[in-house]
Chain A
C-alpha cells in the first residue's frame, strides 16, 4: 500500500515537472530564437566589398584614423616605392589586413587527435598576408620578447555566441597601405559574429605609439559554396631597384603627395591627416559651412572605383 502510494506520488511529481518545464519551453520559444554558443567558422568566406576603408590607396589618405603626431610624421615619410625593393616585395601586410584587404577568408580547424577538441582555427594566407592561427586550447602567450611576426600571436575563446580573439606579438608594420604605421606594441582584438551565411569580423586595433584612439573596422563575408581560389605565393622580382639602393622615403614635411587626396575630393586637411576630432559627428557640424563638394563624378563612379582599374591596368 505504501509502495503504491509512493509510486503514485512519484508519477504526480513527474507530471507536474514536465508540465511546468513544457510550458516554460513553449513560451521561451516564442520570446526569441536560440543561437548556438559556438558556430562553425571553418569554410570559405567570400568578401563583400561594399565598405571602404582604403579609399583606393591614394597616397596620404589617413581618413578615419586617430593618429599620434609621431604616427602622422612616420606615415608622411612613407614612399610607396619601398614595395619595389626586392627585399620588401613579399613582406606582406600585417594582421589588420584581414579586414582592410580585398580578400576572402579560408578558415580550417585543427583538432587534438586524442581528445577531438579543437586546438586552433587557421586563416589561410593570401599572396601578401601570412597564415594566422587562432589558438583555442588555452595555451599561454609567449614571452613579450618572443619573436614578433606579421600575423602575430592570437588566442581565441567563445564569448556570448561570438568568437573573441586577441592578437599580440605583431611585427612593426602598417595599418593602411598608404604607409600608416602600426607598432610592435599594438594589440588587436577581434570578434567574429555569424548570422546565417554572413560572417562579420570586427577589429579593434590599439597602439600606444601611433594611435590616439583605437582603429575600429568591420568587414562582412558570405559563406561560399566553393573553396576560395587563392593565388600563387609571392615571388620577388626585379622592379628597378638593386639591393642596397637605400629605402625610398620623404622628409615628412616635404611629401609631394600631401595634397593629392585632399584635392581629389575637396577633403579637409585635418581629416585626411588623421586627426581624432574628425571621427565624431561634431566634426561634420564644424565643417558644414566650409566644405565644398567636388565636381560631379566623371570617371570610375561605380561599384569598386580605382582599385579595380589599377589592378587590371
Chain B
C-alpha cells in the first residue's frame, strides 16, 4: 500500500511539474512586470554627457583607472569611423544612456529583445543559459536575465540582467573606455507616473578590472509611449 501511495505521489508530482513547466515556467508567462512596448529616454540627468558630446579628455563622475587615461586623451572619432568602430559608444555599457527609444518585445518565450532606434542596436536578454560563452564578443554581449518576484498579495518585481562577453566600448561619446573584461549588471524596475504613464528605471552597475577603479553606477529612466509612431532608427555615429 505504502509503495503504491509513493508511486502515485511521484506520478502526480511529475504530471504537475510537467503541466507547470508547460504553462507557467516560460519567462514570458512568469513576468511579474510588463516591460514590453515603446519607451523613450527622458534626459533629466547627465544631460551634458548624454545629449551632446562632452569635451575630449573630460571624464567627470566616472571612476576611471590610470590605464584609461591614455585612451581618453587619445580619443579620435575619425579613427573610430575609419576602423568601422562607429558603434563603440552604443555598446551595452552605454546604450541605455544614449538618448533613444526602446522597443521591447518577446523574441520567444524565454528571450526578451530590446531594440534601440539610436544606433539600431539589438539586445537579447536570455532567461535560459546558452552554451555559447565562447562566442565572438559583440557590442551588446551576452545577457542572462532573471526575474525577481515579489510574492502575492503585493506582487510586482524586478528584472535582473548580467552581461558579459562584449566588445570593448565607450561609456561616453568622448572615448571614456570600458574593456571586454567588464561585467554589467542591471536592474529593470517600473514605477507609475502620478499623472499617468509608466516609468522604466534601469539601475546599471559597470565593473571593469581594466579601466575602472570602482563600480560605475548610473540609472537612466524612460517614459512609456503609447505606440511606435516616433520610432526613428538612425545608424551609429562616432562623431555624434
Contact = CB atoms under 8 A, between A and B. Distances in A.
Contact of A271 (B6, B41, B51, B62): B51
A160 B47 contact: no
B144 interface: no
Contacts of A258: none
A35 B32 CA distance: 11
A209 interface: no
Interface size class of B (residues with CB under 8 A): 35 or more
Interface string B14-27: 10110011001101
Contacts of B210: none
Nearest to B49: A52
Contacts, number: 251
Contacts of B99: 280-281, 283-284
Contacts of B52: 265-267, 284, 287, 291, 293
Contact of B194 (A19, A37, A187): A187
A49 B13 contact: no
Interface string A63-103: 11100000000000000000000000000000000000000
A283 B27 CA distance: 36
A33 B148 contact: yes
Interface string B143-164: 0001111110011111010000
A198 interface: yes
A16 interface: yes
B130 interface: no
Interface stretch (A7-15, A109-117, A134-142, A247-255): A7-15
A36 interface: yes
B157 A161 contact: yes
Interface size class of A (residues with CB under 8 A): 35 or more
B149 A200 contact: no
A24 B25 CA distance: 10
A191 B191 contact: yes
B226 to A, nearest CB: 15
Contact of A23 (B13, B151, B160, B205): B13
Interface string A271-307: 1000000111111110110010111111011111100
A149 interface: no
B221 interface: yes
Contacts of A300: 60
A18 B6 CA distance: 11
Interface stretch (A125-133, A177-185, A210-218): A210-218
Interface string A161-176: 1101010000000000
Instruction: Please give me the 8 A-B residue pairs with the lowest Cβ-Cβ distance, nearest first.
Output: A160-B156, A32-B147, A161-B150, A297-B58, A19-B13, A281-B99, A297-B57, A23-B17
Given A24-B20, A215-B44, 18 more contacts: A15-B9, A16-B12, A19-B16, A32-B30, A50-B216, A160-B156, A162-B156, A193-B201, A195-B158, A195-B187, A217-B45, A218-B203, A266-B52, A278-B51, A283-B99, A293-B52, A293-B53, A293-B55
21 contacts: A11-B5, A12-B5, A15-B9, A16-B8, A16-B12, A32-B149, A35-B150, A52-B61, A53-B44, A64-B44, A64-B47, A159-B156, A161-B156, A195-B158, A202-B199, A217-B44, A220-B219, A281-B99, A281-B118, A296-B57, A305-B61
Interface of B: 1, 5-6, 8-10, 12-14, 16-17, 20-21, 24-25, 27, 30, 32-33, 40-49, 51-64, 99-101, 117-118, 146-151, 154-158, 160, 187, 189, 191, 193-195, 199, 201, 203, 205, 215-219, 221, 230, 232, 234, 240
